[in-house]
């Protein structure tokens, strides 16, 4: 079924939009609905590109507020990892289902995920109607299965995600350079090229991580990745806040993407404020992520966008750093080809939001500035992904069931 949106506002002008399949086919004041179209009357609401959450562990909604206010390693090793060892596929499905609903509700149309039972993540994303790039976390250090187990897990993940439909794509997701051996990382690089999938890993997130690496290696993490063939246009580096100027120059030269996760890093007090000005000076492709809803604890990328913009200005002692339009473009995935953010144009994917500009916090003033500095996910009236309304006037199918399931499953997981 085709979708027609009437009475929308784009860049201050009244327009209509018609999408056939997953693509915007027509855009302008004279575009009309055809017989049989699904029609949304925007009633003057603004139409803007959807947001792209570049780094998540979505099913960790199951652990929202679990063991908060701890040091990162204590939180991971003594609470999160033991709890995750008890997860079943259906737990991950419902945790991701709730996360996907939360993201859609807050204006996210695509997310990049690293979590256990990737087939369950993919099923939950598809059932919600959101785009997702999905992979299982890969480890071989400290694991009994070692390198053989990592390879088996990687290939099983790729096979499980094949044929999941146009909204779901696979990735290879080695956890980090400190949890995956050099031979395995080199193998991941080979497999990523062979299967034409991106590689998504945690990278240079904390000062401790980098200090411990340099205590046992003569090579910095960035050239190390490059030597292994893991630094290129299909590489997503989550965090990347503890790096040197030469590292950002190399990342830019290779065309890799860094996804900064400011709220998660602030809550965990790990690493440092991402040096946006340095990365931008070198031309690094950038994205914005929430990280998991256990370390954030929200999946509201609009809320994180304000934090991202403000801490950059504060760190630089310069209010002109990271203007609102640039910050919003980063959150929309439009500053990285890998993240897949698209403008509202004919021929582009029909992924967009309707924003209620009559809300008090968006009145008056410039919409872009208000979206960055005075909004949160509640300003989103409707969310459309691939030409399908997945939230219409704040209503999402299946939200009540997901809430009930996650409450019950989290209670059982926490009780153990």
Question: Are 136 and 148 in the same domain?
Answer: yes
pLDDT for residue 416 is more than 70: no
- pLDDT-derived band at 80 (thresholds 50, 70, 90) equals confident
Residue 76 within any structural domain of the chain: yes
- Please determine, for residue 116, whether its predicted confidence score (pLDDT) is greater than 80: yes
* Whether pLDDT at 67 is above 90: no
CA distances from 404 to 160, 349, 410 (A): 27, 33, 10
Structural domains in the chain (count): 2
- Whether residue 395 is contained in a domain is answered as yes
Using the predicted structure, report yes or no on whether residue 113 has a pLDDT greater than 80: yes
pLDDT at 103: 98
The values of phi and psi at residue 33, to 5°, are -70, 145
- Is the model's pLDDT at 287 over the cut of 80? yes
364 and 258 in a single domain? The answer is: no
Q: Is the peptide bond before 364 cis (omega within 30 degrees of 0)?
A: yes
In this structure, are 351 and 287 located in the same domain? no
Q: How far, rounded to the nearest angstrom, does the alpha carbon of residue 34 sit from its chain's CA centroid?
A: 35
- Flag whether 412 is in a domain: no
Q: Are 141 and 179 in contact (CB under 8 A)?
A: yes
- Using the 3D structure, point to which of 286, 306, 331 is the last residue of a domain: 331
Please check the confidence at residue 162 and state whether its pLDDT lies above 80.
yes
Find, among 309, 396, 376, the residue nearest to 107 by Cα.
376
Mean pLDDT, rounded, for 126-146: 90
Tell me whether strands 108-114 and 131-135 are parallel, antiparallel or unpaired: parallel
Tokens 């959150």 locate to 331
Whether 414 is in a domain gets the answer no
Q: Is residue 20 part of a domain?
A: yes
Instruction: Report if residue 404 sits inside a domain.
Output: no
Q: Is residue 57 domain-shared with residue 15, that is, in the same domain?
A: no
Q: Are residues 148 and 281 in the same domain?
A: yes
Q: Does the structure show a pLDDT above 70 at 301?
A: yes
Indicate the SS3 state at residue 387: coil
* Residue 23 confidence (pLDDT): 98
d(CA 411, CA 180): 32
Report pTM: 0.97
pLDDT of the residue at 146: 81
- In this prediction, residue 144 carries a pLDDT of 58
pLDDT, average across residues 10-18 = 97
Q: Are residues 298 and 350 in the same domain?
A: no
Distance CA 117, CA 122 (A): 9
**107 touches 301 (CB < 8 A):** yes
The region of weakest confidence among 11-15, 68-72, 391-395 is 68-72
Q: Are residues 370 and 259 in the same domain?
A: no
Q: Of 331, 358, 389, which residue is a domain's last?
A: 331
Whether pLDDT at 302 is above 80? yes
- The reported pLDDT for the residue numbered 143 is 65
Reported in sequence order, the residue ranges of 194-255 that DSSP labels E, i.e. its strands, are: 199-203, 235-239
The answer as to whether 336 is a domain residue is no
Within this chain, do residues 45 and 187 fall inside the same structural domain, yes or no? Answer: no
What is the share, in percent, of the chain residues with pLDDT greater than 90? 91
Task: Give the end of a domain, one of 282, 298, 331.
Answer: 331
**Looking at the structure, do residues 260 and 385 belong to the same domain, yes or no?**
no
Count of other CB atoms within 10 angstroms of residue 212? 12
Domain with residue 41: its CATH number is 2.30.40.10
- Indicate if 206 and 153 belong to the same structural domain: yes
Residue 249: which pLDDT band, with cuts at 50, 70 and 90?
A: very high
Using the 8-state DSSP alphabet, how is residue 286 labeled? E
Q: What is the mean pLDDT of residues 164-191?
A: 97
Give the least confident one: 54-58, 296-300, 408-412: 408-412
Distance CA 92, CA 162 (A): 19
The reply to whether 56 and 165 lie within a common domain is yes
Residue 113 sits in which domain range?
51-331
Q: In this structure, is residue 386 part of a structural domain?
A: yes
List, edge to edge, every strand of the sheet that includes 168-170.
51-56, 108-114, 131-135, 168-170
CA–CA distance, 344 with 337 (Å, rounded to integer): 16
Q: Any idea which of 7-16, 91-100, 307-316, 404-413 has the lowest mean pLDDT?
A: 404-413
Shared domain for 241 and 210, answered yes or no, is yes
Residue 116 dihedral angles phi and psi, to the nearest 5°: -65, 160
For the chain, give the mean pLDDT: 96
User: What CATH number is attached to the domain comprising 261?
Assistant: 3.20.20.140
């Amino acid at each position: 079924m085709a979708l027609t949106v009437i009475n929308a506002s784009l860049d201050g002008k009244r327009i209509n939009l018609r999408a056939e399949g997953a693509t915007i086919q027509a855009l302008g004041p004279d575009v009309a609905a055809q017989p049989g179209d699904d029609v949304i009357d925007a009633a003057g609401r603004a139409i803007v590109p959807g947001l792209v959450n570049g780094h998540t562990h979505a099913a960790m909604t199951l652990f929202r507020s679990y063991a908060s206010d701890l040091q990162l390693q204590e939180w991971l090793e003594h609470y999160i990892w033991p709890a995750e060892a008890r997860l079943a596929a259906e737990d991950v499905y419902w945790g991701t289902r709730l996360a996907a609903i939360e993201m859609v509700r807050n204006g996210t149309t695509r997310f990049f995920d690293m979590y256990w039972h990737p087939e369950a993540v993919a099923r939950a994303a598809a059932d919600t109607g959101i785009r997702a790039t999905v992979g299982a976390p890969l480890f071989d250090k400290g694991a009994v299965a070692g390198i053989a187990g990592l390879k088996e897990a990687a290939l099983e993940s790729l096979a499980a995600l094949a044929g999941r439909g146009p909204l779901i794509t696979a990735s290879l997701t080695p956890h980090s350079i400190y949890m995956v051996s050099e031979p395995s990382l080199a193998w991941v690089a080979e497999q990523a090229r062979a299967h034409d999938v991106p590689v998504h890993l945690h990278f240079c997130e904390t000062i401790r991580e980098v200090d411990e690496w340099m205590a046992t290696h003569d090579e910095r993490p960035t050239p190390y990745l490059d030597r292994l063939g893991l630094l290129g246009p299909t590489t997503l580096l989550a965090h990347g806040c503890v790096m040197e100027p030469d590292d950002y120059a190399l990342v830019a030269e290779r065309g890799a993407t860094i996804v900064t996760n400011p709220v998660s890093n602030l809550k965990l007090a790990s690493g440092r404020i991402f040096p946006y000005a340095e990365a931008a000076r070198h031309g690094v492709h950038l994205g914005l992520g929430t990280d998991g809803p256990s370390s954030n604890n929200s999946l509201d990328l609009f809320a994180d966008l304000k934090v991202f913009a403000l801490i950059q200005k504060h760190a630089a002692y310069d209010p002109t750093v990271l203007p609102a339009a640039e910050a919003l473009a980063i959150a929309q995935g439009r500053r990285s080809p890998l993240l897949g953010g698209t403008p509202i144009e004919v021929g582009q994917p029909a992924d967009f939001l309707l924003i209620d500009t009559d809300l008090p916090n968006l009145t008056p003033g410039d919409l872009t500035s208000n979206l960055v500095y005075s909004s949160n996910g509640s300003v989103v009236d409707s969310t459309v992904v691939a030409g399908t309304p997945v939230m219409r006037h704040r209503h999402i199918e299946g939200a009540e069931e997901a809430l009930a399931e996650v409450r019950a499953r989290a209670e059982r997981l926490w009780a153990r």
